[in-house]
Every structure is written in C-alpha cells, then in structure tokens.
C-alpha cells in the first residue's frame, strides 16, 4: 500500500480464452500499474495509473514511508537488478523513482522495511532454482548504499516469506518457508524452517518451524507480536503438477498465526481462497489479498478484504 491505496504492478499470467486450458498457452508478462484508492470504500474502483520500466514479475516489494519499494524480478529472461520506488499521489499517476541497483539479480526474492531501511534477499539469481541464495542486503532509503548483512544458517531458497515484526525488544525480520532444489537431484524441496534477524546485532537465530511447508505464502505483520500467514503452497502435489495440470485440486486454504514473542504457531481457520504469490497488505482493521494463483497456471483477479477475528486481533502476549 502507498498513502492508503492498494497498488499492484506487473506480474504474469496465461492468457487463455474462456474455456481454454491455460496449459496450452504461453506465459504473458505485464508492466501496467493499477491503484485502488480507499480500498475500504465499497465504491472505490481500480484505475490504470502508470507503467513499470519494462514487463516483469516475481520481484520483491515492501511498503516504506517513501513509497512501495520494488526489487529484482524477471520477464522470462534472466532476473534483473532493478530497484525503484513506486509513489502515488491521490488522483494522479504512479512514476517509478530509481534506487541504487540491487547488488545481485533476483527473482522470487523477498523484501521488508524497518524504519527507512529495506532488507532484501534475492531468491534465484539465475533462471534455475539451483541459483537460489540465502544472502541478505540492506539499503537506507532513499539514497544510501547497499551493504551486506549476515546470512541465516538455512539453505538458499526462492518464494520465501519475509516480515518485519516487533518481538518486544526490537523490530526484527522473520524469514520462513519457500523452496530449494533438492541436493543431488532435479527435484524441489518445500521448506518450513523459520529464522529471526536482529538488525541491531546483525545476527540470525533459528526459531520454531512452521507446521507445514509454505511456498509463496502471503504473510503480513498483524498487531504487535503477531504474523498472519494466509495460505501458501505446502507442496503436497508439487511433484505431480505436470501430471495433474488443470486437474490439480488447488492450494490448501489454511491461515496460520505465528506469535514472535512466544515462538509459537497456531492454525487460525481457513481463507476464502488460497491465492499464492498474491499481493497482501494490512489496512486499519483488515487485510487485503489481491490476485495471485489458485493452482498451477490458474491466476485470479479476485480481491479479498479479510477481517481477522476478535481473538486474532488481540495483542499477542
């Protein structure tokens, strides 16, 4: 979100006509920027508000006081090092504002902001999952220089979740899930390990594993001390994707809560739909889940407003 408006940009889809199997068409990449002002207003409508410098998707993004930070991405070729801010003025257009290029190219990476510092892990530095790394970098907005941070002990991965949340002592980063290439094979290993990063100490520590693997899981900080995860691919059918194609049953509709102070996971119900790799943002009293994929190659334009239950909204102790 930027200035209270939802913003989506770029992305990819399979442009199949109605009734046509998306497995029979090639992937399309976009560069349009759409904005939904006042998302809590039922009369609000999406507007086309600009374009990215080039077609791209699978980049990392994070809200900041200066605008939406966008890092990396791809368009079917090699990942990019692009870095820019998207700023929206009410009633106007969105224009990308260049930032110092990321130190490495990345796709399927993740980003989070603490204060005016953006933290970034690039995911895949090449076209294949084998290129995924666990490197972390930081940039002080808007015109600082990239600096390398300590790396967690976990393996390199892509499509992991990264969330900034207060643990009662300081605001930390929480990095979890994603997927990596299985050692010695061409298979994929879904991941559920979680790590906490303390910026003041430049140090990581392992915390409680998620109950299930979580790939491309929409995750958001919610109230002091809590992270909500709205689904994600648990990998149950990952090895059968090519066999099942459009007969894939879809990703599970599970919502999870992680209390950072107690280091505890809890299942908190079902989501209305599981839109992995979706845009997720927290507004006053509600969470917005925008677009994404419901099963392999099946994209959705659906936008959900999710109001967590009273119990979930309580401050985590």
Structural domain includes residue 212:
yes
Structural domain includes residue 83:
no
Within 10 Å of residue 42's Cβ, how many Cβ atoms?
7
Structural domain includes residue 169:
yes
Specify whether the CB–CB gap between 191 and 180 falls below 8 A. Answer: yes
Structural domain includes residue 303:
yes
201 vs 93, higher pLDDT? 201
Average pLDDT over residues 81-96: 91
Count structural domains, the chain: 1
Structural domain includes residue 289:
yes
State which residues form the domain around 188: 150-317
DSSP string across 235-285: -TTGGGHHHHGGG-------EEEEETTTTEEEE----SS--BT-EEEEETT
CA distance 199 to 179: 25
Q: What is the pTM of this model?
A: 0.95
Q: Is the pLDDT of residue 310 over 80?
A: no
Structural domain includes residue 113:
no
DSSP string across 105-167: -BBS-EEEEETTEEEEE-BBSSSSGGGB----EEEETTT---EE-PPPSSPP-BS-EEEEEE-
Q: Is the pLDDT of residue 52 over 50?
A: yes
Residue 309: predicted pLDDT: 77
Q: Write out pLDDT tens, residues 178-211.
A: 999 987 667 899 999 999 999 999 999 999 999 9
Residue 183: predicted pLDDT: 73
Residue 91: predicted pLDDT: 80
Here the tokens at position 102 are 């990321």
Structural domain includes residue 171:
yes
Structural domain includes residue 209:
yes
The domain that contains 246 carries what CATH number? 2.120.10.80
């Amino acid at each position: 979100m930027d200035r209270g408006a939802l913003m989506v940009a770029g992305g990819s889809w399979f442009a199949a006509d109605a009734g046509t199997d998306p497995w029979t068409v090639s992937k399309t990449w976009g560069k349009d920027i759409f904005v939904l002002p006042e998302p809590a207003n039922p009369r609000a409508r999406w507007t086309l508000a600009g374009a990215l410098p080039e077609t791209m998707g699978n980049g990392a993004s994070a809200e900041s006081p200066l605008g939406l930070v966008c890092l990396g991405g791809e368009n079917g070729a090699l990942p990019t090092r692009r870095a820019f801010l998207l700023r929206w003025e009410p009633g106007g257009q969105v224009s990308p504002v260049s930032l110092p290029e990321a130190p490495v190219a990345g796709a399927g990476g993740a980003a989070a902001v603490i204060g005016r510092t953006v933290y970034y892990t690039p995911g895949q530095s090449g076209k294949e999952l084998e290129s995924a790394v666990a490197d972390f970098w930081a940039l002080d907005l808007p015109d600082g220089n990239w600096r390398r941070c300590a790396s967690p002990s976990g393996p390199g991965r892509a499509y992991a979740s990264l969330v900034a949340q207060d643990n009662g002592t300081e605001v930390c980063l929480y990095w979890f899930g994603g997927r990596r290439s299985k050692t010695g094979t061409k298979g994929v290993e879904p991941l559920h390990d979680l790590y906490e990063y303390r910026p003041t100490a430049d140090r990581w520590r392992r915390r409680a594993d998620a109950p299930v693997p979580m790939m491309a899981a929409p995750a958001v900080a919610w109230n002091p001390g809590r992270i909500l995860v709205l689904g994600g691919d648990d990998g149950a059918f990952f090895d059968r994707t090519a066999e099942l194609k459009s007969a894939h049953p879809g990703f599970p509709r599970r919502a999870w809560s992680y209390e950072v102070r107690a280091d505890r996971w809890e299942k908190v119900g079902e989501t209305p739909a599981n839109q992995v790799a979706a845009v997720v943002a927290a507004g006053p009293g509600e969470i917005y889940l925008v677009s994404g994929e419901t099963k392999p190659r099946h994209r959705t334009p659906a936008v959900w407003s999710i109001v967590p239950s009273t119990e979930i909204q309580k401050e985590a102790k």
